[in-house]
Amino acid sequence: MAGIKALVGLSFSGALGLTFLLLGCALEQFGVYWPLFVLIFYILSPLPHFIACRCGDDTDSSSNACRELALFLTTGIVISAFGLPIILARKAVIYWGACGLVMAGNAVIFLTILGFFLIFGGGDDFSWEQW
């Protein structure tokens, strides 16, 4: 039952983050949909972790080159997602209010992705067949 509550909480926070993103695009005073390009970063951010889990060895050592590279690439993707709205706002493509809403959405979405990996990605005994 705890897994269901965690899944519902994560889906609610994901919906909240996407709401912030869409408000930054669709409100009448903003009306520009360029910030939706951060959706690409949302899709790309978990990919290095998935690849590292498949390619890396299963030792419990504190240093693993594949895992370190995955963390480095994920960090670059997340920083790029926060940097894109700032660049768009500085070049006057979007308004600063839209930038703030997109940044809030980024924070919520990336915390949701992190929460998913902390809750469901830790153990090897988890399988998707139980849903």
Q: Is residue 76 part of a domain?
A: yes
Q: Is residue 129 part of a domain?
A: no
Helices and strands: H and E segment counts in the chain: 5, 0
Q: Is residue 90 part of a domain?
A: yes
As for how many domains the chain has, the answer is 1
Cα atoms in the 13 Å half-sphere on the side-chain side of 131: 11
Q: Which domain holds residue 112?
A: 35-56+64-120
Q: Is residue 4 part of a domain?
A: no
Q: Is residue 108 part of a domain?
A: yes
Alpha carbon distance 64, 105 (integer Å): 32
Alpha carbon distance 102, 34 (integer Å): 11
pLDDT tens by residue, the chain, 131 residues: 668 888 999 999 999 999 999 999 999 899 899 999 999 999 999 999 888 888 766 666 666 888 899 999 999 999 999 999 999 999 999 999 999 999 999 999 999 999 998 888 765 555 554 55
Q: Is residue 82 part of a domain?
A: yes
Supply the DSSP string of 46-79, one letter for each residue: THHHHHHHHHS-----S--HHHHHHHHHHHHHHH
Q: Is residue 111 part of a domain?
A: yes
